[in-house]
C-alpha cells in the first residue's frame, strides 16, 4: 500500500518524538543561548514566545514538513479565495472577506465586496444615529441601553468584544447580552432596563434558534406592554441580524431594521459582520473598524509569512504535537487580563465546534485524536483554583498565557505584579521543583513538581481594538490549520442537531405536563416524571 505524504511526514514526526519525548526544556535552554530569540515570533502588536515548549529545531522542521504534506499552502489560498471548504454544506468559509481591504472578491461568479461594504455603511448609519441621540425610542427618548439577543456565535464574540473594549469610546449605549433560556437572566436584565430607552438587536443566522426566538418574543412583549403594540414600537426598539429574511420578517422586524449576514460566514466566525453591531453601538464604529483592521493584519501575516515565522501555523502545530504525541486531552487559555476573561468561552466554540469531529472530509472515521478540550479563565485567579493540577497533576496540559505589557489602569506597580505572576507560572511549570531542590524537607516528595510542562506566552503591546482583532484572527487561523492537519471540515457542526431534536420532544412533554415513556430511556423518563412532580 502506498504511503501518503502525510503518513510519511507523520512517521518522521513519530520517530523524532521517540527521540525527544524525555528531553527537558531547561536543557534545551542550556544548549542554546539564543533559544528565546529563535523560538518567538511577532505580528504587529502581538509577540509569541514558544520557547518553553518541548521542541527543538528538528521538531519544528518535522512539524513544518507535516504542514506542507497536508497541502497547507493550497488550503490557505482556498480559504481566502472562497473555495467551498465547508464541503458538507457546499459553502465557502469567507469570514476573512468581512475585514478585507480588497476592492472586489469574486466567488461563484459574484463579487461579494459591494454587499459587504453596503452592510458596513448601514451599520455605521445606525451606530451614528443611536450614539448621536438622533435615533429615538417610541416615546421620544434617546437609547441608553442595547441588548444583544443571540446565542453561540451570535453572542460569544460580541459579548467578549464588549468586555475587552470596555474602556474604549464608552459614550454609547450600555451593552447587555441575553442568550440562554434561563428566564431568571431575562427577568433580572429587563428589571434593570427602561423599555423607552432600550434597543434590542436580535442576532441569529438561522433565525430559528429556539433560545433566541423565545427571548426575542419575551423582549417584544415587554416592550409593547410598556410602549404599545404597534409597528412604530418595533421599528424604534428592534433590529435583526440574520441570513434568514423570511423568519426575521415573520417575527415582525421591518426591512429597514434588518441587516443581512451570509451563509458563507460561519456563526463562530461572524463577529466581523453585522453580528458585531452591538460592539459598534457600545464602543463606536471606529473601534469596530480597528478590530477589523487588526484581524486583517493577522490575515496578511497568515497569508504571507513563511510557515516557520507564521504565528497561527506554529500555534496550530504545537497544539497538534501535544495532542498527537503526548496524549494531551485539553489545552488551557489563561489571560492575565479580566477584560479577556471570556476569551476561553469564545475559543471553546471556535475550536471545539470547528474541530470536535471524528470523521474526515469524506465522512470516514478518523484513527487519530482531533480537537482537545479548550478551557481556561483569568490566569491570576486560576493560580488559586486549578493551577495545582497544572503543576502537580498527572496530565500534560499545554497552556497559552496571554498578558498585555501596557495596562489601562493607573496602578502600574500592581500591573507589574500581575505580569510577574503570569511569567512566574510559565517558568514554574517548565522548571518544576525536584525532591533534591528541597533538601531534607520532610514534605519534599509532596512539594515536588515534575516541571517540563509546556506553555506559550502571548505578550500584547496593549489590549486595543486592533490587537484584540488580531488576537481573535490568530486563533481563527490556528483552528483552520489544525483542521487541515486533521483533514476535517472545520466549518460545519452537525453534532449539535441530536440534542436539539431531543429537546423538542422533551419540551412538548413538559409543556403538556405528561411524559411519553415510549419515547425515552429509563433515566430520561425518570427525570421527566420527577421534574413534573416537583414543578407542579
User: Using CB under 6 A as the criterion, which residues of the chain lie in contact with ligand F6P when the complex forms?
Assistant: 151-154, 204-206, 209, 212, 267-268, 353, 493, 496
Q: Please, which residue, 238 or 307, has the CB nearer to ligand F6P?
A: 238
Q: Is 530 helix (H, G, I), strand (E, B) or coil?
A: helix
Residue showing cell 438622533: 134
Retrieve residue 222's grid coordinates.
415587554
Contact predicate 321/315, CB 8 Å: no
Among 351, 353, 476, 509, the one annotated catalytic: 353
Instruction: Report the residue number, 271 or 333, with the smaller CB distance to ligand F6P.
Output: 271
- In the bound complex, what is the minimum distance in angstroms from residue 444's beta carbon to ligand F6P? 50
Instruction: Reply yes or no on whether 353 is catalytic.
Output: yes
CB of 275 to ligand F6P, least distance (A): 8
Q: In the block, which residue shows the cell 478585507?
A: 100
Q: Strands, DSSP E only, in 174-235?
A: 174-178, 198-203
Longest dimension (CA), the chain: 80
Nearest-angstrom CA–CA distance, 362 and 352: 20
Of the listed 37, 184, 364, 384, which one is catalytic? 384
CB atoms < 10 A from the CB of 221, how many?
11
All cell numbers assigned to 169 = 469610546
Residue 445 annotated to the active site = no
Contact 343, 468 (CB under 8 A): no
Backbone angles phi, psi at 356, to 5 degrees: -80, 65
Could you give the angle at the alpha carbon of 177 between the alpha carbons of 175 and 181, nearest 5°? 160
Residue 296 known to be catalytic: no
Q: What residue ranges in 399-468 does DSSP mark as E strands?
A: 399-406, 455-462
451 within 8 A of 429, measured Cβ to Cβ: yes
Closer Cβ to ligand F6P, 148 or 154, answer by number: 154
* Residue 89: CB atoms within 10 Å: 15
The three cell numbers of residue 438 are 528541597
Euclidean distance between CA atoms 291 and 98, whole angstroms: 11
Q: Classify residue 13 as exposed, middle or buried by CB count within 10 Å of its CB (0-12, 13-18, 19+).
A: buried
Q: Helix, strand, or coil here: 88?
A: coil
3-class SS at 375? strand
Please give the grid coordinates belonging to residue 365.
Answer: 472515521
- Measure the CA–CA gap between 242 and 224, rounded to whole angstroms: 22
Nearest distance from C-beta of residue 279 to ligand F6P, angstroms: 16
- Output 496 or 512, the one with its CB closest to ligand F6P: 496
The least distance separating ligand F6P from the CB of residue 241, rounded to whole angstroms, comes to 9
Decide whether 395 or 500 has the Cβ nearer to ligand F6P. 500
- Alpha-carbon span 454 to 40, nearest angstrom: 14
* Total count of residues recorded for the chain: 536
40 or 206: whose CB is closer to ligand F6P? 206
Closer residue to ligand F6P (CB): 467 or 482: 482
* Cα–Cα nearest to 204, from 235, 250, 163: 250
- Quote the least distance from Cβ 209 to ligand F6P, whole Å: 3
Which phi and psi (to 5°) does residue 431 adopt?
-75, -40
Q: Which is nearer to ligand F6P, 464 or 493 (CB)?
A: 493
User: What residues act catalytically?
Assistant: 353, 384, 500
Amino acid at each position: 500500500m502506498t504511503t501518503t505524504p502525510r503518513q510519511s511526514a507523520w512517521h518522521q514526526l513519530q520517530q523524532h518524538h521517540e527521540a525527544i519525548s524525555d528531553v527537558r526544556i531547561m536543557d534545551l535552554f542550556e544548549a542554546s543561548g539564543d533559544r528565546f530569540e529563535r523560538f518567538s515570533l511577532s505580528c504587529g502588536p502581538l509577540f509569541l514566545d514558544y520557547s518553553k515548549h518541548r521542541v527543538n529545531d528538528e521538531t519544528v522542521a518535522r512539524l513544518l514538513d507535516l504542514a506542507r504534506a497536508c497541502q497547507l499552502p493550497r488550503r490557505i489560498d482556498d480559504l481566502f479565495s472562497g473555495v467551498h471548504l465547508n464541503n458538507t454544506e457546499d459553502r465557502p468559509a469567507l469570514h476573512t472577506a468581512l475585514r478585507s481591504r480588497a476592492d472586489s472578491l469574486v466567488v461563484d461568479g459574484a463579487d461579494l465586496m459591494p454587499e459587504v461594504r453596503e452592510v458596513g455603511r448601514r451599520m455605521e448609519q445606525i451606530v451614528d444615529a443611536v450614539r448621536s441621540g438622533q435615533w429615538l425610542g417610541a416615546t421620544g427618548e434617546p437609547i441608553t441601553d442595547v441588548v444583544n439577543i443571540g446565542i453561540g456565535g451570535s453572542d460569544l464574540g460580541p459579548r467578549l468584544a464588549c468586555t475587552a473594549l470596555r474602556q474604549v469610546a464608552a459614550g454609547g449605549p450600555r451593552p447587555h447580552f441575553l442568550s440562554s433560556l434561563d428566564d431568571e437572566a431575562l427577568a433580572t436584565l429587563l428589571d434593570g432596563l427602561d423599555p423607552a430607552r432600550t434597543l434590542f438587536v436580535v442576532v441569529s443566522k438561522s433565525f430559528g434558534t429556539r433560545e433566541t426566538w423565545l427571548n426575542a418574543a419575551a423582549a417584544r412583549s415587554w416592550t409593547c406592554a410598556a410602549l404599545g403594540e404597534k409597528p412604530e414600537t418595533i421599528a424604534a426598539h428592534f433590529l435583526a441580524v440574520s441570513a434568514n429574511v423570511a423568519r426575521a420578517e415573520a417575527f415582525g422586524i421591518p426591512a429597514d431594521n434588518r441587516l443581512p449576514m451570509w451563509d458563507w460566514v460561519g456563526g463562530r466566525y461572524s463577529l466581523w459582520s453585522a453580528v458585531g453591531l452591538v460592539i459598534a453601538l457600545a464602543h463606536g464604529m471606529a473601534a469596530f473598524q480597528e478590530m477589523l483592521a487588526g484581524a486583517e493584519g493577522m490575515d496578511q501575516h497568515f497569508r504571507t509569512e513563511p510557515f516557520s515565522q507564521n504565528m497561527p501555523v506554529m500555534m496550530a502545530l504545537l497544539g497538534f504535537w501535544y495532542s498527537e504525541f503526548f496524549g494531551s486531552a485539553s489545552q488551557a487559555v489563561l489571560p492575565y487580563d479580566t477584560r479577556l476573561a471570556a476569551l476561553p468561552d469564545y475559543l471553546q466554540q471556535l475550536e471545539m465546534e470547528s474541530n470536535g469531529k471524528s470523521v474526515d472530509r469524506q465522512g470516514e472515521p478518523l484513527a487519530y485524536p482531533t480537537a482537545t478540550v479548550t478551557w481556561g479563565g483569568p490566569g491570576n485567579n486560576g493560580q488559586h483554583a486549578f493551577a495545582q493540577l497544572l503543576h502537580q497533576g498527572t496530565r500534560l496540559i499545554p497552556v497559552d498565557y496571554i498578558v498585555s505589557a501596557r495596562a489601562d489602569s493607573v496602578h502600574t506597580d500592581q500591573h507589574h505584579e500581575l505580569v510577574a505572576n503570569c511569567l512566574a507560572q510559565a517558568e514554574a511549570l517548565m522548571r518544576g521543583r525536584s525532591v533534591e531542590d528541597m533538601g531534607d524537607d520532610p514534605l519534599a516528595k509532596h512539594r515536588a513538581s515534575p516541571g517540563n510542562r509546556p506553555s506559550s506566552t502571548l505578550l500584547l503591546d496593549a489590549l486595543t481594538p486592533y490587537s484584540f482583532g488580531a488576537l481573535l484572527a490568530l486563533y481563527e487561523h490556528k483552528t483552520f490549520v489544525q483542521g487541515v492537519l486533521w483533514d476535517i471540515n472545520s466549518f460545519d457542526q452537525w453534532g449539535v442537531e441530536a440534542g436539539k431534536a431531543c429537546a423538542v420532544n422533551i419540551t412538548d412533554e413538559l409543556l403538556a405536563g405528561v411524559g411519553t415513556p415510549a419515547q425515552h430511556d429509563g433515566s430520561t423518563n425518570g427525570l421527566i416524571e420527577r421534574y413534573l412532580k416537583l414543578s407542579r
